């Protein structure tokens, strides 16, 4: 896989040389024209036109070269992220499938006790849930660029919705329910799309648990700020370096660090979250003091007054 990667430095170097050459030619062209103007005042009009035409031509060439270089670098980076995504997908699919296959084969043994059978069934169910969640993320990400349908806005009881999402994620991750602490006022309601908000909360809670240590602690808080409903999901995990805070929402992007690489992932979860929230008219941001300091994801939904006008 690594042998197929193209070097970003090559197009950058070629473009730099081409731009430098164009500037050299432009300067030489200008000096020649100026010299001719001094020698022959009779041809001023034609030479000035030629000079302007040459300058515009070279400016156009340099602009095209720069745009082409930027586009090429972006495409190479996108291809690299896609290769990384394919590798991650392979691992994400192989692990639960191998576990399910082993569980099914073991269930076929007649000497198994009923308690062991129940544990195996629970393990298989957990792996199937994990596969289903992973496939949902991939499908959501693939549909987002073509999503045109409107959202189905309904009144949502956020404490109940958050509790349901937390229960699903903690069961899938095999951690205690009290790992996720809810700090949401009773009766806190938001007018939003139920399916979208469920996907957003599940992804953020799952990330908080996955990117924490052996004793994860995730808190979900909801409140009104300047007329906008805000949901914050905070963890005490591995944190995010400041230079990567904006990039974590890009498709296929994963922070290039050992703690992140040790955890399975595709770089799609946060991309799905930010895209879905944008479709709702809101925005997502993240704050972290750095590596080892945890992270806080903040989901700001459309203002209450704007939602009332739409209703």
Whose CA is closest to 272, among 75, 139, 116? 139
For range 260-282, the mean pLDDT? 80
Mean pLDDT (the chain) is 78
Which of 146, 169, 184 is the endpoint of a domain? 146
Average pLDDT over residues 11-19: 70
State whether 166 and 301 are in the same domain. Answer: yes
User: Would the pLDDT of 305 be above 50?
Assistant: no
51 pLDDT more than 80: no
Determine the structural domain holding residue 267 and report its residue range. Answer: 153-310
| Residue 84 lies inside a defined structural domain of this protein | no
pLDDT tens digit sequence for 117-167: 888 887 787 778 777 777 776 666 555 554 545 566 888 999 999 999 999
- What is the mean predicted confidence (pLDDT) over 3-29? 67
The number of distinct structural domains making up the chain is 3
Whether the predicted pLDDT of 4 surpasses 50: no
Instruction: Using the predicted structure, report yes or no on whether residue 63 has a pLDDT greater than 70.
Output: yes
Task: Tell whether the torsion through CA atoms of 178, 181, 186 and 190 is positive or negative.
Answer: negative
Spatial separation of the C-alpha atoms in residues 271 and 79, rounded to whole Å? 17
CA distances from 250 to 245, 266, 307 (A): 10, 11, 28
Share of the chain above pLDDT 90, in %: 19
What per-residue confidence (pLDDT) applies to 213? 79
Residue 73, pLDDT score: 76
- Is residue 241 domain-resident? yes
Listed ranges 8-12, 21-25, 197-201; the one with the highest mean pLDDT:
197-201
Residue 86 located in a structural domain = no
């Amino acid at each position: 896989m690594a042998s197929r990667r193209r070097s970003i430095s090559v197009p950058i170097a070629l473009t730099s040389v081409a731009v430098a050459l164009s500037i050299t030619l432009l300067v030489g062209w200008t000096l020649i024209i100026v010299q001719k103007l001094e020698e022959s005042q009779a041809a001023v009009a034609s030479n000035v036109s030629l000079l302007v035409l040459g300058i515009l031509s070279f400016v156009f060439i340099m602009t095209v070269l720069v745009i082409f270089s930027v586009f090429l670098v972006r495409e190479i980076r996108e291809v690299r992220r896609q290769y990384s995504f394919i590798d991650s997908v392979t691992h994400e699919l192989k692990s639960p499938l191998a576990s399910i296959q082993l569980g099914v084969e073991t269930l076929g043994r007649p000497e198994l006790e009923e308690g062991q059978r129940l544990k195996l069934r629970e393990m298989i169910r957990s792996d199937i849930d994990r596969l289903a969640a992973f496939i949902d993320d991939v499908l959501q990400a693939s549909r987002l660029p073509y999503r045109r349908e409107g959202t189905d806005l309904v009144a949502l009881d956020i404490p109940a919705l958050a509790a349901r999402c937390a229960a699903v994620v903690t069961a899938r991750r095999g951690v205690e329910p009290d790992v996720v602490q809810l700090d949401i006022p009773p009766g806190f309601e938001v007018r939003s799309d139920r399916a979208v908000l469920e996907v957003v909360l599940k992804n953020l809670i799952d990330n908080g648990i996955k990117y924490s240590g052996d004793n994860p602690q995730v808190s979900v808080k909801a409140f009104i700020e300047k007329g906008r409903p805000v949901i914050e999901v905070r963890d005490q995990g591995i944190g995010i370096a400041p230079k990567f805070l904006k990039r974590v929402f890009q498709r296929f992007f994963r922070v290039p660090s050992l703690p992140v690489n040790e955890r399975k992932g595709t770089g799609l979860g946060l991309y799905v979250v930010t895209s879905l929230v944008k479709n709702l008219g809101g925005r997502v941001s993240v704050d972290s003091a750095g590596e080892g300091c945890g992270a806080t994801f903040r989901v700001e939904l459309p203002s209450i007054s704007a939602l009332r006008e739409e209703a």
